[in-house]
Amino acid sequence: MRRIRVMNFSWVLLLGMVFSQATAVEKDSLTLEPNEYHFKEAMLITQLLENYHFRKRPLNDSVSSVILDNFIEELDPNKSYFYQSDIDIFENFRYQLDDALRSGNVKPAFFIYNTFNERFQERMEYAKADVFNYDFDYALKETYETDRENLPWAKSEKELNDTWRMIVKSQSLNLVLSKKDKEKIPEMLEKRYDRMINMVRKYNSDDVFQLFMNTVSESYDPHTNYFSKATSENFKINMSLSLEGIGASLGTDGDYTKVARIIPAGPADKSNLLKEDDRIIGVGQGEDEAIVDVIGWRLDDVVKLIRGKKGSIVRLEILKAETGISGKPSIIQLTRDKVKLEDQAAKKEIIPVVKDGKNMTLGVIKIPSFYLDYKGYQNGDPNYKSTTKDVRRILQELKEANVDGVVVDLRNNGGGSLMEAIDLTGLFIKNGPVVQVKSSDPNRPVEVGKDTTNVEVYDGPLTVMINRFSASASEIFSGAIQDYKRGVVVGETTFGKGTVQTVVDLGRYIPENEENIGQLKLTIQKFYRVTGSSTQHMGVAPDINLPSAFSAEDFGESSNANALPWDQIAGTDYVASNKVDKQMIAELEKAYAIRLSSDKKLKELVQDTEKLQERLSNTKISLNYKEREKEREEDEKIMKSREKLSGVIDAEEIKKKDNFPVDDQYLKEGLIILANMVNRNIG
C-alpha cells in the first residue's frame, strides 16, 4: 500500500532555486537541461514499467530510493567526485523521484548530473596539477582501497584531494611498471585527463536522459534498458556491422571499456587472447602504430578505433579479468575479419582416447550459440540453417563413426533461439516438456515448450560442458538434460539469465517527436525448468564442479542487486530417462577426487585457481613499487601456469593406460568423465 506523505518543502524550494537559476544564467558546457520531449518520454516509460514489466512493481518510494542510489553510483561509483554535502542535497530527492517521473519531470536528474559535471571538472584539473606537483614516493608502504562502496563520502576538499593523490599515484605507478619513460608519465596522464574532460563535455541532454532513464529501467532488472534515438540507431548500425571487426561486444565499467561478449567464431574467439570481462585500456592500428590510451573514453569512440577493414590489424592493450585493474597490462594483436555464419555453426571432433587401458572413440559437439535462420524457416526454405538441424546431422555422423560417447560443449554459449533449445533437447530424449515460460500477464497461463518428435536421435553416454558464461538457452538445454537424468553436466554454475525481453519502439506512442524518441527493452517473461525451478539468478549447477576463478557474486546474474529473484512454480509432468542416477554421479565424483589427489598438474590447476580467487577478492592495491611488482609477477606466473596446463594432465603413474590428446584442459576433464561413464556401461 502506498503511504501518504507531506510534500518535502525543502525539495520544492531547492527545485525552484535550481530551475530559476538555470533559466536566468547563460548556458555553458557544464549546464544541461532536459528537452521538451523528454517529459513525455519519461511518462511513457514509467507507465510501461509499471504495467508491463514482469515484476508488476509500482513505481513507489522504495523504487525511488533505489533509483537515486543507483544514479549516484552510476555517476560516481568510487565516491571520488561528490562531497557529503552534495549527497545531503540529493537526499531531498530520495522519495520524490517516483512522483516526478509520473509527471514526466526529469529535472532532478539533470540537477544531480550538472553537480557531478562540475565536480568532475574540478577533479580533473586537480589531477592534472597533481601529476606535476608531486614527486611520488613508491617506496612508501601505502595502499588504495578500490572497493569504496562502504566508505564514507569525502567531507572536505582535503579528504577528496588525498583520495585523488592515491588515484593519480596508482595510475602513475602502473605506467612506471609498464616501463614507460618516467619523464613523460606526467604528460601522458595530463593528456588522459584532458581527453576525459573533452569526452564528458561532449555529453548532451539526450545522453543525460538516457543515463537516468536507464537507471530507472534497470531498477526493475538489469536486462530492462532504455536506448536514446541516437543509441538505437548506432545499435542497428553496429548489428549490421557486428560480424566485421574483432568479433566482440563491448560495454563500460567506470572509466574502462570492458568486453561484454565474445562473438562465436570471430577473430577474438579464434585467437583465444581476449575474454569476457577483460578491460581494454589502449588501442593501436597495424603492427607498429602507437597504442592510444582509451581509459575514460566514451564507448562509441573506442568502438570506432577498434572497428576497421577486413584483413587489417588492430592491437589491444588489455587488463585480464582474472587479475583486475592492478594487473599487468598485455598487448594482443588481432586481424579484423568478417564472421561467417557458417563459422558459428555447430562443429564436431572425433577423439580416440585410452582410459584404464581400453581404447574408445569419443565425439565432441561444440555449439557456439542457439542460431536459427528465422526468415528461411518462416518461408519454408528446406535449407534454412538451425542448431538442431546441424547437430542432428553431426549425431548421425558420430553414430556412423561408432563413437562410444558424446560431449556437448556449451561453454561461453550465451543463448539464442528458445525454439532451438527445445528442439535440440528433443534429439536426446524421446519426448516431453523441456521448458516452462511464465508471462508478466497474471491471466495468461504458463506455457510449456515440448518436444513431440517421439524420436531419440542419440541415446548413448552423454556429458554437457557448461561454464559461468553459458546463459539463457544454454541453461534451458543443460537444465533439461539434468532433469531428465539423460546426461552428466560438468563444469561451472551457469550465468543465471532466465528472462525474456521485448523491444518497444517508443516513437510509435509519441509520433509528434518520433525523430527524437528512443526504445525500451523490457523484461516480460521468465523461464522455468520442468521441475518448476527457475533458471533465473541461480543458474544451472553442474553435477560435477570443475575449478573456477569466477564467482557468481562477481560474474553471474546474481552480481546485480536488481536481478529478478529465483523462484519456483508447479512442475510439469515428465518421465525421466534415468540413464544417470545418484550412484553414477557419486562414482564419477569419487573418480574425479582420486584424480585430483594423484594428478600433480590437475592439483596445480586447482591451486592456481584458488590463488586467482584470492587475488580477485583482494580489493586493496599496493602503491609500493616492489609490492605491486611482486603482485604482477605472481599474477603472470599463475596465468602462464594455467596456459601450460592445457597439455596432458594425467599423473605419471597412470599415463601409460590413460591418454586424452586434446589441448583444452577443461574439455579433457569432460572427456575423462565421459570415458568413466562409458567404462561403467561396458562393465
Helix (H) or strand (E) holding 132: helix 107-133
Closest by Cα among 53, 10, 89, 158 to 502? 53
Collapse the DSSP code of 436 into the 3-class scheme (helix H, G, I; strand E, B; otherwise coil) and give the result. strand
Query: Is residue 472 annotated as part of the catalytic site, yes or no?
Result: yes
φ and ψ of 4, to 5 deg: -90, 135
CA distance 620 to 628: 11
Q: Which of 390, 483, 608, 635 is catalytic?
A: 483
User: Which are the contacts of 674, defined by CB distance < 8 A and separation ≥ 6?
Assistant: 362, 405, 406, 407, 461, 462, 463, 488
Q: Say if residues 470 and 413 touch (Cβ distance below 8 Å).
A: yes
Q: Which residues lie across from 467 on neighbouring strands? A: none
Query: Is residue 581 annotated as part of the catalytic site, yes or no?
Result: no
Write the burial class of residue 249 (CB in 10 Å: 0-12 exposed, 13-18 middle, 19+ buried): middle
The 10s digit of each residue's pLDDT in 609-663 is 887 777 777 888 899 999 988 888 877 776 666 555 444 334 343 344 567 777 6
Please report which residue ranges of 6-83 form alpha helices under DSSP H. Answer: 9-24, 36-52, 61-75
**Can you read off the three cell numbers belonging to residue 406?**
558424446
Q: Dihedral of the CA atoms 418, 421, 426, 432 (nearest 10)?
A: -50
Q: Which residues lie across from 145 on neighbouring strands? A: 620
Please report which residue ranges of 219-332 form alpha helices under DSSP H. Answer: 229-241, 267-271, 299-306
**Can you read off the three cell numbers belonging to residue 276?**
569476457
Helix (H) or strand (E) holding 104: none
Q: Which of 128, 366, 497, 526 is catalytic?
A: 497
DSSP conformation class of 152 = P
**Can you read off the three cell numbers belonging to residue 402?**
561408432
User: Helices (H), strands (E): how many in the chain?
Assistant: 21, 21
The DSSP annotation for 535-554 comes to -TTT----SEE---S--HHH
Closest by Cα among 369, 389, 419 to 242? 369
Q: Which of 326, 472, 474, 478 is catalytic?
A: 472
Domain residue spans in the chain? 28-218, 244-338, 341-599+649-682
Report the top-level CATH class of 341-599+649-682. alpha beta
Length in residues, the chain: 683
Closest by Cα among 30, 152, 160, 16 to 92? 16
Q: Say if residues 501 and 524 touch (Cβ distance below 8 Å).
A: yes
Which ranges of the chain have pLDDT less than 70?
1-30, 233-244, 340-343, 552, 638-658, 663, 681-683
Query: C-alpha angle with apex 444: 438 to 446, nearest 5 degrees?
Result: 35
**Predicted pLDDT at 464:** 98
The DSSP annotation for 401-426 comes to TT-SEEEEE-TT---B-HHHHHHHHH
Write the burial class of residue 152 (CB in 10 Å: 0-12 exposed, 13-18 middle, 19+ buried): exposed
CA distance 391 to 367: 9
Query: Is residue 483 annotated as part of the catalytic site, yes or no?
Result: yes
Helix (H) or strand (E) holding 454: none
Q: Say if residues 154 and 167 touch (Cβ distance below 8 Å).
A: no
CATH of domain 244-338: 2.30.42.10
- Widest CA span of the chain, in angstroms? 87
The 10s digit of each residue's pLDDT in 99-155 is 999 999 999 999 999 999 999 999 999 999 888 777 789 999 999 998 888 899 999
**Predicted pLDDT at 307:** 84
**Can you read off the three cell numbers belonging to residue 605?**
590447476
